[in-house]
């Protein structure tokens, strides 16, 4: 048992280190956990100012039993160990056994649906939050959608997210596995509908620039799942892309190659093949984000029969946004119960204006630009 209230699992990775960095800035004690103490120490030694944080390092096996033991005495787990459909169940089951709030950074719809259907009710019964998908790529767009939905007469969300930067090693592995092993859905008339697998790239208008952006469903993202049971919303579509045309143009070919390589293979064989492909695509940590270069753009058009709204949130350093959103969300459950327990998004649990306010206070987001006609 530890006296540290937050556990960061996967703390040696790029995003995990940022969560630790922001927990330090929020003055929250934590355990930095992972499967290799040596790797954890090497990763955390690169985090600026971490020597002033109240933390300890813990090596742990990836089993429900070992993780449950680690979580004794804690209140929140920030899980960075993906792909989550593969590695998430052990962490979620440990949180249930230990009575700990659960958060991760997933965009895997199949994992989110599993969280909702298999674990949501039990988390709610215990007064615990189960919140997968707290990350810039999903939460900041949900914040923008909720700004639009503060206005009446809207029932349809057309959402996009763009960013400049390089995916991390873990993000690349998750994207690769998601592309082959999972379907992507959008919400239409309150039902989940599969995106066409052979549609290729979509051309979208990117607010603030003349050049069109290239986008993909990117696994469908979390918003169609969060808004599926929202009485204000009937339809929700999300597309996303990197503001790097050559990179985006290469994605459909890479996916076709992976499908060919894994055809007829077992699930275990497929995962091994995809892990190898991901390592070839990206096997090195990207450099620390530069706010002049690494920008993010979340845009939401909301519509109804006789109303229109548009919200744009310009930000920078999307991985820093993710690290802060995770750390701040964890800090909140230490002081009071979230607004909603069980399966719930960060916006549902803590409030979209509160989350955006935190991003703005740390210099990671502009004020939302919102227009409404109705």
34-63 pLDDT, tens digit each:
999 999 999 999 999 999 999 999 999 999
pLDDT at residue 172, as a whole number: 59
62: number of Cβ within 10 Å: 14
d(C-alpha 102, C-alpha 124), whole Å: 12
Coil vs helix vs strand at 348: helix
- Are 133 and 107 contacting, i.e. CB atoms less than 8 angstroms apart? yes
- Are 159 and 238 contacting, i.e. CB atoms less than 8 angstroms apart? yes
Q: What is the pTM of this model?
A: 0.93
Coil vs helix vs strand at 352: helix
Nearest to 291, CA basis, from 164, 132, 204: 164
Question: In the chain, helix, strand, coil percent, each to 5?
Answer: 40, 25, 35
Least confident range from 73-87, 115-129, 282-296: namely 282-296
Coil vs helix vs strand at 76: strand
Least confident range from 114-118, 174-178, 184-188, 346-350: namely 174-178
Residues 6+ apart with CB under 8 A from 27: none
Residues 6+ apart with CB under 8 A from 198: none
Coil vs helix vs strand at 208: coil
- Are 21 and 48 contacting, i.e. CB atoms less than 8 angstroms apart? yes
pLDDT at residue 346, as a whole number: 98
On the question of pLDDT at 169 being above 60, the answer is no
121: number of Cβ within 10 Å: 13
* Strand boundaries in 40-95, DSSP class E: 55-59, 76-79
pLDDT at residue 286, as a whole number: 78
- Are 49 and 22 contacting, i.e. CB atoms less than 8 angstroms apart? no
The pair of structure tokens assigned to 21 is 């960095």
Question: Angle of helix 352-361 relative to helix 318-333, nearest 10 degrees?
Answer: 120
- Are 6 and 76 contacting, i.e. CB atoms less than 8 angstroms apart? yes
Mean pLDDT of 250-271: 75
Mean pLDDT of 283-306: 90
Mean pLDDT of 350-364: 98
Strands 185-188 and 156-163: unpaired
- Rounded to 5°, the CA angle 171-172-178 comes to 85
């Amino acid at each position: 048992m530890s006296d540290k209230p937050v556990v960061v699992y996967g703390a040696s990775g790029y995003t995990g280190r940022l969560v630790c960095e922001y927990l330090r800035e929020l003055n929250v004690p934590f355990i930095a956990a992972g499967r290799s103490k040596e790797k954890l120490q090497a990763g955390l030694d690169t985090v600026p100012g971490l020597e002033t944080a109240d933390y300890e390092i813990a090596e742990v096996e990836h089993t429900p039993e070992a993780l449950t033991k680690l979580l004794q005495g804690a209140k929140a787990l920030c899980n960075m160990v993906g792909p989550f459909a593969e590695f998430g169940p052990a962490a979620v089951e440990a949180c249930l056994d230990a009575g700990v709030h659960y958060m991760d950074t997933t965009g895997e719809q199949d994992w989110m649906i599993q969280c909702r259907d298999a674990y949501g009710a039990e988390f709610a019964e215990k007064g615990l939050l189960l919140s997968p998908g707290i990350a810039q790529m999903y939460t900041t767009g949900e914040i923008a959608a909720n700004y639009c939905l503060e206005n009446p007469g809207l029932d349809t969300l057309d959402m996009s997210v763009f960013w400049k930067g390089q995916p991390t090693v873990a993000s690349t592995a998750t994207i690769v596995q998601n592309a082959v092993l999972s379907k992507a859905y959008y919400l239409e008339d309150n039902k989940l509908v599969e995106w066409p697998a052979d549609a290729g790239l979509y051309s979208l208008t990117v607010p603030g620039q003349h050049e069109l952006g290239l986008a993909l469903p990117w696994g469908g993202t979390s918003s169609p799942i969060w808004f599926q049971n929202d009485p204000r919303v009937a339809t929700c579509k999300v597309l996303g892309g990197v503001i790097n045309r050559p990179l985006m143009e290469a994605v459909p070919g890479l996916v076709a190659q992976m499908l060919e390589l894994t055809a007829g293979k077992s699930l275990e064989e497929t995962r091994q093949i995809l892990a190898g492909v991901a390592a070839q695509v990206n096997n090195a940590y990207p450099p620390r984000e530069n706010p002049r270069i690494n920008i993010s753009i979340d845009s939401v058009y909301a519509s109804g029969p006789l109303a229109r709204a548009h919200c744009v949130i310009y930000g920078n350093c999307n991985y820093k946004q993710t690290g802060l959103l995770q750390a701040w969300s964890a800090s909140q459950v230490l002081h009071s119960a979230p607004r909603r327990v069980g399966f719930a998004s960060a916006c549902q649990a803590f409030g979209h204006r509160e989350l955006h306010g935190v991003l703005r206070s740390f210099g990671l987001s502009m004020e939302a630009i919102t227009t409404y006609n109705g």
